[in-house]
Amino acid sequence: MPTTTASPRTARTPFTGSPVQAATRLARAGAHEQYVVYERDGAWWYAGGVRASLVVDRTRVTLDHAGDRTVTSWHGDPLRTVHQLLSSLPFAHWRAYGWVTFELSYALAGDTAGLGDEPLLHLVIPEAEVRLAADGAEILSGDPDDERKLLALLATADTVAEAAEFTPVSVDLREPVEGAYHRSVARAVELIRAGDLQKVILSRTVPVDRELDLPATYLAGRSVNSPARSFLLNLGGIEAVGFSPETVVEVCPDGRVSTQPLAGTRALSGDASQDAARRAELLTNAKEIYEHAISVQVAWDEMAAVCREGSVRAEEFMTVKERGSVQHLASRVTGELPYGERGPWPALAAVFPAVTASGVPKSAAYRVIRELEGGPRGLYSGAVLTVGDDGSLDAALVLRTAFRQQGRTWLRAGAGIVEQSTPDREFEETCEKLRSVSRSLVPATGSH
C-alpha cells in the first residue's frame, strides 16, 4: 500500500465576474502552462499545472510523479492498467483531468496495428484545482505561493472580450460545396445498402486561417451555446475550446451510470415559429427517428454488458435538446455498476466511443471511417474527462470544438449517415453544427 501524502489545503473566496469569466481569466493569465477548464452542472473547474501525469499510447501506459516514471506495457484493455497506476499514487485524495482521442476505440477493440505513436489518453492530477460556482470559489493547492497567485487573479477585473465586443473570424463553412464529403456520404450509403453496416458518422474538417484567442473564444462561445458540458484546455500539446452537446458517460461514486445519446438534427434559427416547425419535423421524420433509435439500442446493449442485471433503463426517450445552433433528438440510458475493483473504467470502455460519433455496429463503422476520412480524428469525437479517486467519472463528447495543434487551427463536424441519407442534406447538417463554434471565433490581437 503506497504511503499517502497530505491533501492540498482548501481556501474559499469570493471572485469578480461570473464563474465562467473567472475560470477563463485563470486560464488566460498563464498561471500554469498546462490547464483544463471544465463546466458541469452550473459549476466550472480550473485544473492547473501537473502534479502527476498519465499517458497511454498504443503499447504502453506511462505514469510520471515526483520525478519518478513508471512505464507499463498494456495488453487487452489499457484502461485496466490506467486504473491500477492511478490507484498506486501516494495521494490521500485526487481528481484527474484530461482527454481521450477517438483512436482509443481501436485499442479497446484490439486493433492497434494502424495506430501511430500519438497519445491515446492524457490525464493530469493538477497542482492546483479551483471550483467556481455562484456561491464562490474553492481553491485546492499544496503551494501557498500558487494559492496567493490564484486568489489575486480571482479578485481582478475581467480582461477577456465579451461576445458583443469583437468581429468573429470569417470561416467559409460551405467550401468545397461539391467534393470529397459528398462522395464519402454516397459511398457510405452504398455500403449500408449492401448490408455492411446500419449507420456511420462521417466528419469533415474546416481550416481556420487566422490566429485565435482561444480563452476569449471560449467565453464568447459559451454565451451563445447551451452545452451539456464545455471545456477549454491546453494539455499534452493540444489546445481546444468546446461546447459538448452530450456526455459519453457519467459515473457517480455509488456506481450509478448514464450515457446520453443525441442523434437526429435540425437547425435553430432563433425564429420561434420556424424552430418549432423544425422541431415538429424532427420528431416525425422517419430517417431521424431511425437514426436515433438504433443509437439508443446500441447504448442500451453496451450499458447492459457492464451494469447489474435489470438495472438498465431508458430515460428522457426522444426528447429534444437545444444545443447552440442546432436541436437534437435526445435520450438517456442509465444503469448501476456492480461493486468491483476497477472503478468507473469498465463503463467508459463499454460505451467509448459514443455511438453518436461512430456508428452501428461500431466495428464496421471504424473500417468505413478509416477508409473514407483518410486520417486520424485525434481529439475530435473523443472525450474530455474528469475522474476521481472516489470512483466518479464524467466524460464529455468532443464535438462543437475548435482545435489548435502544431501551429494549425481547425473546426470539425460530422453527420450520421443511414440508408435514407443524401449527400446534400448531410453536408448541410455539418454546416449547421459548425456554426455553433464558427460564429464565436475571436481573433488574436494583431492577427490578420
Catalytic residues: 246
Question: Which 3-state string (H, E, C) describes 356-378?
Answer: HHCEECHHHHHHHHHHHHCCCCC
Distance separating alpha carbons of residues 97 and 40, to the nearest angstrom:
13
Contacts 24+ apart (CB under 8 A), 172-179: 172/206, 173/206, 173/430, 173/431, 173/434, 173/435, 173/438, 174/431, 177/427
DSSP bridge pairs for 62 = 55, 71
* Cβ 142 vs Cβ 67: under 8 Å: no
In angstroms and rounded to an integer, the radius of gyration of the C-alpha atoms of the chain is: 21
Query: Residue 76 is which amino acid?
Result: G
Distance separating alpha carbons of residues 203 and 122, to the nearest angstrom:
23
Cβ neighbors of 276 (< 8 A, separation 6 or more) are: none
Length of the chain: 448
Nearest CA among 356, 354, 323, 352 for reference residue 245: 323
The C-alpha cell that represents 259 in the structure block: 450515457
Q: For residue 301, how many other CB atoms are within 10 A of its CB?
A: 14
